[in-house]
Amino acid sequence: MNRENAGGEPGWGCGHLGPHRAEVLGPPRHARARPATGEAQAVGRPSRLDFSELQRLTVGEGRAAGGRQRCWREVWPGENATQRTFQIDYRRNRFLKDGQPFRYISGSIHYFRVPRFYWKDRLLKMKMAGLNAIQTYVAWNFHELQPGQYNFSGDHDVEHFIQLAHELGLLVILRPGPYICAEWDMGGLPAWLLEKKSIVLRSSDPDYLAAVDKWLGVLLPKMRPLLYKNGGPIITVQVENEYGSYLSCDYDYLRFLQKRFHDHLGEDVLLFTTDGVNERLLQCGALQGLYATVDFSPGTNLTAAFMLQRKFEPTGPLVNSEFYTGWLDHWGQRHSTVSSKAVAFTLHDMLALGANVNMYMFIGGTNFAYWNGANIPYQPQPTSYDYDAPLSEAGDLTEKYFALRDIIQKFAKVPEGPIPPSTPKFAYGKVALNKLKTVEDALNILCPSGPIKSVYPLTFIDVKQYFGFVLYRTMLPEDCSDPTPLSSPPSGVHDRAYVSVNGVAQGVLERESVITLNITGKAGATLDLLVENMGRVNYGSSINDFKGLVSNLTLGSKILTNWEIFPLDMEDAVRSHLGTWGGRDGGYHNKARAHSPPTYVLPTFYVGNFTIPSGIADLPQDTFIQFPGWTKGQVWINGFNLGRYWPVRGPQMTLFVPQHILVTSTPNTIVVLELEHAPCQDGVPELCTVEFVDKPVFRTVQTHRHAN
């Protein structure tokens, strides 16, 4: 594919790859596409080094492989030593920091997955492992939830996070997107972009570029003072993210980003790209002027992987920007783990080769609230983003942490002194919950402005509801004395719909697995569908992920029309209006009720309180909440949205509760929204409990096997 080549400038030379090229053996194991078998897939043979093959790469005058001209200014050791610089020494295949040879050993931490309360603890543990840098994405949607309304305070204060890393002596590799993937809702892109229904994300689409341009104009000026050259810790900045894996190969888009990054950060900022070890991915993801790096997992053939980087960067440092220390989970699948031995083995060989490495993740953290992403075929990720990383979701030191620290200290100086210990955990025990209200009974609190009326269903975006839940209501057009199929086209419900008729739960429609449900009721009865957004797709060609009823529903052969649509503000109701939940719902709901089928009941809120024990030092402490006998739902503590629980699917059985959301002066309030079935709905009130324990629980474990 043709690419625009920049003309040479005085003092710059161009190189090309010599005749000795290595083919990548076997299919790529890309960052977000795990093999269907669940086994980690390697590129080629095990990671034994073939130094002779790597040394056969030659550099001369001309073009790089693929017709891609790479030009650079020669940088010599000691040059610019009196000022802060971070550059590439192409002649000696390395980075130079302040004119001196430099290699980074880095780990990923996402500030948006770790509460600000714990940023320093996690960063210090990373430093004590021997890391000299950390890597973080910037999640656009975390900062601009509504168009033009920016949040850079509290847990959103990315500037403070970067400054804190700087104070601890850590450099920063910044990955500001605008797309980040990261198993984060819509890959970090704000959902309101979809208000332009035909928008082509991650492309030169004018509507998309206008939004990106505005966002970068807000974010990047905040980052400029934090660049290394300006006294800060940011040494390199990634442009986009694994762009070669996307459906388009839009170099105009990459050039647009490149120009905007230079406009805001300066012409001398070191920009890079990251793609999987596959020539097609690199061909679309790399661009002249952006340093091309790769990502791959333990067990990968290092010679093949880095020779592929060499095909696009004939000289310069070897860089693995995402070396996977673990893997992500999906609801309904086994918890993913990768052995410490496999990770340590490949890390050793990369460091022995002189490569720069970022470990993804060094700490995974938590998808609080509704922030998790999803893959296609539709598989949402759970609340935990533990990732089997060296530091656990709760920031605890693991066996993998010490195994990697042992490897790192063979190649770099590891700081002396004690490592901050794992934070103490406390099992507060069982807490009884009482039934509060069904969602239908609480509509006047959850949607005080009343419904939006439409002949046909509207999506979440149409009603400006970007996360959470929307209730869709219509009337049965005819008697359904016999079970009558309520049907959605394939993928017509995004993502789960909890169906009831006149207050009687009927069952659940689910995006790709349950598209027909038999219901009964009389003509004129109220049909309600509470639709849950389970997380937007974050990777691949389906990131334009509209939520809600995205197609018409049929009852028998008739299309259902005349809908009332209730966008539900769960957060405001839970935080501000619990004391007003005593009355009924103000008339939206037909109050005639019958008994529900035993498997499903109406989505219902439960509430309870617990007090931190007195007389015990150092409380409150972190804890984990589990849901014995509960099915699926959402949980808040003191108004803080911990996220989703789904123990009947697993693998995550407990949710992490950081201590800073707990209080000692007053009782702590727990609100649970159970969507399907609570244990006390069987008529045994004492079973309606949740329990706080001092360890996380994953239901099953699957170990990936890596070649050694």
Rg (the chain; Cα; Å): 27
CA distance 313 to 166: 30
The pLDDT tens digits of the residues spanning 475-509 come to: 999 999 999 999 999 999 999 999 999 999 999 99
DSSP 3-state assignment of 454?
strand
- Is a pLDDT exceeding 90 seen at residue 5? no
> How far from 133 is each of 92, 109, 414, 606, CA to CA, in Å?
22, 11, 13, 44
CB distance 23 to 276 below 8 Å: no
Phi, psi of 228 (to 5 degrees): -60, -40
The pLDDT tens digits of the residues spanning 221-258 come to: 999 999 999 999 999 999 999 999 998 899 999 999 99
Tokens 């069952």, residue? 507
CA distance 422 to 436: 37
pLDDT given for residue 512 in this prediction? 87
DSSP 3-state assignment of 314?
coil
376: Cβ contacts below 8 Å, ≥ 6 apart? 537, 539, 540, 542
Q: Which of 74-88, 116-130, 403-417, 543-557 has the lowest mean pLDDT?
A: 74-88
| CATH number of the 102-408 domain | 3.20.20.80
The pair of structure tokens assigned to 543 is: 């990131």
Classify residue 406 as exposed, middle or buried by CB count within 10 Å of its CB (0-12, 13-18, 19+).
middle
CA distance 380 to 632: 14
Q: Which of 15-24, 210-219, 268-277 has the lowest mean pLDDT?
A: 15-24
pLDDT given for residue 592 in this prediction? 39
The pLDDT tens digits of the residues spanning 96-114 come to: 999 999 999 999 999 999 9
The pLDDT tens digits of the residues spanning 408-439 come to: 999 999 999 999 999 999 999 999 999 999 99
467: Cβ contacts below 8 Å, ≥ 6 apart? 185, 191, 369, 370, 533
CA distance 506 to 529: 10
CA distance 213 to 204: 11
Question: Three-state secondary structure along 203-256?
Answer: CCCHHHHHHHHHHHHHHHHHHHHHEHHHCCCEEEEECCCCHHHCCCCCHHHHHH
Peptide bond into 685 cis (omega under 30): no
Q: Is it true that 102-408 and 429-435+603-703 share their CATH fold?
A: no
The pLDDT tens digits of the residues spanning 284-334 come to: 999 999 999 999 999 999 999 999 999 999 999 999 999 999 999 999 999
- Sheet harboring 429-432: ordered strands across? 429-432, 689-693, 623-626, 654-657
Domain boundary assignment for the chain: 102-408, 429-435+603-703, 440-580
Nearest to 467 by CA among 528, 543, 545: 545
- Sheet harboring 12-17: ordered strands across? 59-61, 12-17, 70-73
Nearest to 401 by CA among 166, 165, 124, 104: 124
* Catalytic sites, residue numbers: 242, 322
pLDDT given for residue 30 in this prediction? 37
Torsion over CA: 411, 412, 415, 419 (sign)? negative
The domain made up of 429-435+603-703 has a fold known as: Jelly Rolls (2.60.120)
CA distance 469 to 571: 11
CB distance 405 to 348 below 8 Å: no
Residue 357: enclosing H or E segment and its boundaries? Answer: strand 356-360
187 DSSP 8-state letter: G
Helix %, strand %, coil % of the chain (to 5): 25, 30, 50
CA distance 369 to 389: 21
Q: Which CATH architecture has domain 440-580?
A: Sandwich (2.60)
Phi, psi of 554 (to 5 degrees): -120, 145
The pair of structure tokens assigned to 13 is: 């030379």
Beta bridge partners of 526: 475
Q: How confident is the model at residue 643 (pLDDT cuts 50, 70, 90)?
A: very high
Average pLDDT, the chain: 88
- Stated pTM of the model: 0.89
Q: How confident is the model at residue 3 (pLDDT cuts 50, 70, 90)?
A: very low
Burial 610-632 (b: 16+ CB within 10 A, else e): bebeeeeeeebbbbbbbbebbbb
DSSP 3-state assignment of 309?
helix
> How far from 524 is each of 171, 440, 478, 532, 558, CA to CA, in Å?
65, 17, 7, 25, 15
